[in-house]
Structure 1
């Protein structure tokens, strides 16, 4: 039933804003790890929710808060028992919380866009200390593991208050995460990190036969070299958004690493 509702939501969102919403499948995720819900963009993905339940919960709350009766009824009907477990219609009004973002953070979960709005609201009020604290909170590893966007945004916050050196370090930290999780173009982050093309050139060198042979000589297992190459190619693809140029080789890397189901998943076309 959750997937039925999710399909309904995906169609609705696509019709409204032309976005593609998907579940993110990490290639080497530990057993039991939930798949995040993401919006697919040219240079990567934007995290919408940490799991399907959280995503559905948020949509139901927002529709209820916006008093969109017709669509509201359609959503609650589509959600059936799954929706009832997550949210009861009228819950937002009963909470007496005047701010929807506050309700989402307290009752539903953490969301990147909501946290970023919270920081900007602090700036609008002239409260730079709270903005910095919230920006730092956003980057805690336990909140959005594997995603670089929190570090990018924190770098922007630090720049906004004139802390250039710390912003540079935050941006460089962001570039240690997958570049397709930055939430923006690679170059924007590289500029804050005060890096030119050295990182791109380094990665290009690592995926050459010479680079892979050097890793082998250092004792790195072939399967890990293949996984690293796939990750590097994803980073390179995100720079210009040229995903189709790399997909075949990325799938081949996963096959070489023994992840045949992931390779098939990468090559799948509806």
Structure 2
């Protein structure tokens, strides 16, 4: 940045105006001087996909990119953002009070990935891709948010899918979470907000409070706001009513 400023001072001598080309050239020179930043990148070796650490492509750093809304337009397809692992005793303390696989998975998604209660209710079975360890969150008017599930959460998801199939083998309800009443109505609404509220009352902590605690806990490990937005799908515009940090 110092090179860019000094170069601009040389040009701004009162006899010549700056141009887009000049700014771009100075910016490119500054970018080339930045140290390499290694990011996880998927490559193909001998027909097999593998993840390795490679330098981030500096050609993707250009002036117009700074004008983009980070939570709306930037997609870091080469970087897999995963949350800091929570202490196992903390998760166990929340789940020990629950014995239904559905409930255990719902609490884990809030405690680990800070999902909102409404997001839990509207998740669809097709949003969960266990083979890739991914869960897609649909966000009207915005890009879908993809979270990467850890092995523990994947085990909970598998347990719930197995129990659901055993109890309601003929149900084609599209929603991921169902109850005895909603499983029988394929075209009906998802589980109610009351079902979610009752679940977290049993845990002893409201879902909204648990979500906030999770984001704050992650912030203690990372002061990077972009990472928090990418990890939890938090908007860069907290004043938006449809995207609060907590419900």
Give TM-score scaled by structure 1 length. 0.25
Higher RCO (Cα < 8 Å, 6 or more apart): 2
Give TM-score scaled by structure 2 length. 0.27
Higher strand share: 2
